[in-house]
């Protein structure tokens, strides 16, 4: 009797959850409709709680997004969230907030992630010939409003085609202890000098050893586990895309082609364009350097402009530049994966 009652309770709770879940409603085309966008194109996240709140909304809105086990920051022991969009092998890993004072790129990573989640859903509808959902129509969105990008049918198709059977892994905020206040982590280490890539030669606050910090160890462990085809790390100030770290031969040729497809997405938005090498010796020990060295696959550091062009990061996020940069970042990740996979299949030879 007790068993039946418990079973009854479970069935009842499941039914209630099913009714409450927005994506459980099936559209006439047989696919879940797109939820309202939850990540605005100009969203700012300057405290860890802001990121946690945004993630609660993302996880609730998209059942194609799966939270992964969080890390814990070195000093304050704050969760370092990570999640996966879609299923299958990891085509792309995107990370933001490695440096705590570069808060705008947390918004970039979250925006790109939601657009991929939306593109996978609406693009799949085009692919199957089902009636595509009308995303955001109820909110009266126009082509200019945030989230408009994934309503571009061709981009949705691209996202669905390129990422079909694959997944994207996202770490929006690697450094919650430093967020909004400092470049460094809670004990003053520059996390992007704490990876095992020329670490001995790195100068600056690089830590006691490669991966000595909980944050860099978490990102390296996650990367070793999901083995992405491509990584993109978002940073601020240098206004360019870094793409090299000692690649040679065929690997160099391939990565240059992938790099060109990345910068093509940004057009004239990043004045520094592609940068073949890091500007100073101190740039050893970076995440993308470590990824290239360890996996022999393409890794990129995408640098927004900053004070030089906009006076402040606040001004940059409020400018016309920002939505264009955000949307270009969606294309950049997609271009990188498509070019890499094409090359891997021999099309780029």
Binding site residues, Zn ion, CB under 5 A: 99, 102, 235
- Using the minimum distance from each CB to Zn ion, give the nearer residue, 193 or 297: 193
- Using the minimum distance from each CB to Zn ion, give the nearer residue, 242 or 266: 242
- Using the minimum distance from each CB to Zn ion, give the nearer residue, 102 or 327: 102
β-bridge pairing 274-275 and 240-242? parallel
Residue 335 CB, nearest approach to Zn ion (Å): 22
- Using the minimum distance from each CB to Zn ion, give the nearer residue, 183 or 217: 183
Q: Whose CA is closest to 345, among 256, 254, 261, 265? A: 254
Within 10 angstroms of residue 221's Cβ, the number of other Cβ atoms is 13
Q: Whose CA is closest to 90, among 265, 222, 214, 196? A: 222
DSSP state of 311: S
Is 167:88 a contact under the CB 8 Å cutoff? yes
Residue 77 CB, nearest approach to Zn ion (Å): 23
- Using the minimum distance from each CB to Zn ion, give the nearer residue, 158 or 289: 289
- Using the minimum distance from each CB to Zn ion, give the nearer residue, 156 or 175: 175
Looking at the chain, list the stretches that DSSP marks H as alpha helix, in order from N- to C-terminal side. 2-20, 48-61, 104-128, 153-163, 214-226, 249-266, 287-295, 307-310, 313-318, 321-344
- Using the minimum distance from each CB to Zn ion, give the nearer residue, 206 or 235: 235
Could you tell me the two tokens for 172?
A: 């929006």
Residue 247 CB, nearest approach to Zn ion (Å): 22
DSSP state of 34: P
Rg (CA), the chain: 20
Could you tell me the two tokens for 6?
A: 């418990």
Residue 302 CB, nearest approach to Zn ion (Å): 10
**How many whole angstroms separate alpha carbon 44 and alpha carbon 57?**
15
- What residue number has its CB nearest to Zn ion? 235
- Using the minimum distance from each CB to Zn ion, give the nearer residue, 120 or 302: 302
Residue 277 CB, nearest approach to Zn ion (Å): 17
Residue 147 CB, nearest approach to Zn ion (Å): 27
Q: Whose CA is closest to 166, among 245, 226, 254? A: 226
Residue 267 CB, nearest approach to Zn ion (Å): 22
Contacts by 313-316 with C-beta closer than 8 Å and gap 24+? 313/102, 313/103, 313/104, 313/236, 316/104
């Amino acid at each position: 009797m007790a068993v039946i009652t418990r079973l009854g309770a479970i069935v009842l709770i499941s039914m209630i959850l099913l009714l409450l879940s927005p994506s459980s409603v099936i559209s006439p085309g047989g696919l879940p409709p797109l939820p309202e966008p939850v990540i605005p194109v100009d969203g700012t996240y300057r405290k860890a709680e802001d990121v946690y709140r945004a993630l609660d909304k993302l996880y609730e809105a998209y059942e194609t997004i799966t939270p992964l086990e969080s890390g814990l920051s070195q000093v304050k022991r704050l969760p370092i969230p990570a999640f996966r969009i879609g299923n299958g092998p990891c085509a792309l890993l995107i990370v933001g907030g490695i440096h705590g004072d570069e808060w705008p790129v947390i918004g970039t990573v979250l925006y790109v992630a939601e657009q991929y989640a939306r593109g996978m859903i609406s693009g799949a509808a085009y692919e199957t010939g089902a009636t595509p959902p009308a995303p955001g129509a109820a909110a009266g969105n126009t082509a200019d409003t945030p989230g408009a990008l994934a309503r571009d049918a061709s981009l949705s198709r691209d996202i669905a085609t390129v990422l079909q059977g694959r997944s994207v892994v996202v770490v929006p905020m690697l450094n919650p202890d430093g967020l909004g206040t400092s470049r460094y982590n809670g004990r003053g280490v520059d996390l992007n000098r704490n990876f095992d890539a020329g670490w001995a030669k790195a100068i600056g606050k690089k830590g006691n050893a490669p991966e000595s910090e909980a944050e860099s160890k978490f990102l390296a462990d996650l990367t070793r586990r999901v083995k992405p085809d491509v990584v993109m790390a978002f940073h601020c100030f240098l206004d360019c895309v870094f793409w090299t770290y000692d690649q040679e031969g065929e690997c160099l040729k391939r990565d240059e082609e992938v790099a060109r497809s990345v910068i093509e997405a940004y057009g004239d938005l990043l004045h520094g364009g592609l940068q073949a090498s890091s500007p100073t010796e101190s740039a050893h020990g970076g995440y993308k350097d470590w990824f290239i060295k360890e996996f022999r696959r393409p890794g990129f550091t995408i640098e927004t402009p900053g004070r030089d062009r906009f006076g402040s990061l606040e001004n940059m996020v409020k400018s016309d530049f920002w939505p264009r940069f955000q949307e270009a970042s969606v294309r950049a990740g997609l271009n990188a994966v498509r070019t890499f996979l094409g090359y891997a299949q021999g099309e780029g030879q």
